[in-house]
Structure 1
Amino acid sequence: MTEPKGQRKDFVWKYVKEVDGEKYFRCKFCDQTCSGTVSRFKNHLASMHKGIKPCSKVPEDVKLECQHALKNFFEQKTARNEMLYEIGMGAGAKGESGASQSIEGDTGGMTQAPKPRGPMDKFASSQARQSTLNSKWKQEERKDVCRKIGRFIYCKALPFNLVNDPYWVAAVDGIANYGPGFKPPSMHELRTWILKVEVEDINVMMEEHKKAWKQYGCSIMSDGWTDGKSRVLINFLVNSPAGTWFLKSIDASDTIKNGELMFNYLDSVVDEIGEDNIVQVITDNASNYVNAGSRLMEKRKKLYWTPCAAHCIDLMLEDIGKLKVYDQTLSLSRQVVKFIYGHCWVLSMMRSFTKNSELLRPAVTRLAIAYLTLQSLYKQKQPLQAMFSSEKWASSSWARNVEGKRLLSIVEEMLGSTDQFGIR
C-alpha cells in the first residue's frame, strides 16, 4: 500500500481489501484495483467517473459518504488556494490575534468591538481594489491560455469532445497543481518511460481480467477486416463478466485465409488463454471459419465453436434480397440514393427539403445496409415527394433531362405505391 498501516487516518481505508504483497488499493466490494491515491479510490466508490471505473457493488451509504468527503475536500482546497493567492498577491493580513476582537455585552452576548481607524485603513482599502484588479487580470490570463489550447486543437484537427475525456481533465489538473515552471514531456519521454509505466498499468488491469476468466470462463471472439491501406487484419477479443478485453491483432495480408490458417490462429489463442478457461469461440460464418471451428472442437473437447448471430442475420437478409420482388425494390432504392448524392445541386435541394436530414447510402461491406437505406427513404417519403413535385425541380434542367425523368418515375413508383413493394 502507499501508506504504512500506522499512518492510515482516512476513513476510506476500511473499504480496502488487504492482500499481502500488493502495492495497490483493492476494493472490498468489487475486488477492483486502484493504482492511484486515496482520492482516486474515493472516486471509484463515489461513482464519479474520474479516471477509474465506478464500483458496481458499493452500498448506497458508502457511496454518499465518499461523495460528501470529495465535495468537502474540493471546497477546502478551493478556499486554501484562494487564501494563498491573496497572500501571494499582497492582500492584507489579519491582526496579530488572527481574528476580530469581541467584547461581552451586558446581556451576556458577544458583540464586535468598534475598530479603531488609523492611517493604515487607507492602505487596506487600496489593497481591496488591488485584489479586484488582480481577479480581472486573472480572467484575461485564462482567456489567453484557453486560446492557446484552442489553437492547438484546431491546428491538429482534434474533435471538440476531446475536452470531455476524463484523462484530459486529469492532465490539466495535474499541470495546474504543479504550478509555474512545468515542462511538458518530450517525444523521447513519451515513447520510453511514460509508455513503459502505462503498459505496466494495463498489465495490472489484464491480471484482473485473467482472474475473471478463471473464475467464470470466457468467450474468444474473432473479427477480420480490411483497413484503409488494404491490410487484412484479424482481431481477437476475450469476453467475460468482467468486460471485453482486446487481446491482439494479426496482420494476415501475406497469407491465404483458409481453414488451416484460421484453425492455427484460433488454436494459438486458446493455448494463450487456457483451454480450461474458455467456454466458446465465436467467429463469422465464412466457410474457412466453419472449417476451423469444426477442427477446433475435434481437438478441444471442452469448448464450442459458435457462429456470429449478427453475421447470420446479414446472410439471411442477403438471401432475402435475392428474391425478385425485393431485389427490384432494393435496386431502385440504390439508384435513387446514388443519383441524389452524385449531383451536388440535387443533393443541396434534397437537404433543404429534409431539413439537413441525410439518406443512408449503401455500402459494399454491409449486407443489411440496403434495407436501412430503404428505411431512410421511407422516413423521408413526404419531403422527397414534395421536392420532386416542387416548382424548383420542375424549372430545373434535371426535370427535362432523361436521367432526371427516369429518377422521377422511380420515386413516384416507389414512394407512391409503398404497399406494393413492402416498404414499411
Structure 2
Amino acid sequence: MFFSLGLPFHLARNPYYREAFSYATNTPNLSGYKPPSYNKLRTTLLTTERSHVENLLQPIRNLWNQKGVTIVSDRWSNPQGRPLINFMAITKSEPIFLKAVNCFGDIKDKDFISQQIKDAIMKVGSSNVCKAATKGAKKNNVTYDQCSWITQIADYANFIMRHSMRLSMYINFNSLKLLFVAPTRFSSTIVMLKRFGSLKEGLQKMVISPEWSTYKDDDVGKAKKVKETLLDDIWWDKFDYILSFVAPIYDVLRKTDTNMTCLYLVYEM
C-alpha cells in the first residue's frame, strides 16, 4: 500500500492509522496482525520492493540493445520549489525512469546538463543509446558551441566576410552570400551547411586565384589553412556525409512546422 500508492512513511506513526488497522484486524482471520513499522518500511521492505520493481523492469531492459534507447530529460520544480531534472530511458516498448537530479544551487548551463546526460547514458549503456533529447534554454544549446566541425566552417566564413579585401574576392567568385548560425532562427545550422555546400566551386576558385595567393594581411597562416581545407577532398566528403543525414531531418521539420494537422505528412514521408 505504501509503495504502490506513494504514501509517506511517517503515516505508519500516525495513531489513527494504527487504530484503523487494529480495528480492521479484529477478526479471526487477521487476529494479531500488525502493520509494518516506520523503520521497516524505509529499510527492509523498501529494499525488497526495489528488488521486485527491478525484476519487473528487466524484460524492458533486455530489449534496449535490440531497439535502442532515447535519453529524455525535463526540468520541473517540486512542491517546495526545488529545481529538479528528471531523466527517462524511452524505448518502443515502455519508458523507464532513471533518476531525478536535485540541482538546487547548481549553475544549470550546457556543461552541467551534458554531464548529467552523460551519466544517464553510462547508466543505460552507451552502446544502447541512439540519441538524447532535452528541453533547454538558449544557454544550454550545445549545437554551435560543442560541434568543432561546424565551428570551423563558421570561423572560415567570418575570416572571409569580415575583411573588406577578402569579401571583395569572395563576391567576385560567388553570387550567393555566406550564412551564419543564428540561435534564434529555425534550424539555422543546417541552412548554413546547405548554403556552404552550394558555394564549394566558387570558394575553391577563390582560394586558388592569384588574388588570394598574392594578398598579404596580418594572418597569412589562417589564409593558408582556409585554402588547404577548401581544397581537401576528404574534408568535403565528410561535409557531404554529415549533410546527407541532417538534410532529411531538416526537410521533415520544415514540413511539420505548421499549425495545421501534419501527422499524415510524416507517415507519407
TM-score range normalised by the length of the shorter chain: 0.3 to 0.5
The two structures have a TM-score, normalised by structure 2, of 0.42
Which structure has the greater CA radius of gyration?
1
Question: Which fold has the larger relative contact order, with Cα–Cα distance below 8 Å and residues 6 or more apart in sequence?
Answer: 2
The two structures have a TM-score, normalised by structure 1, of 0.28
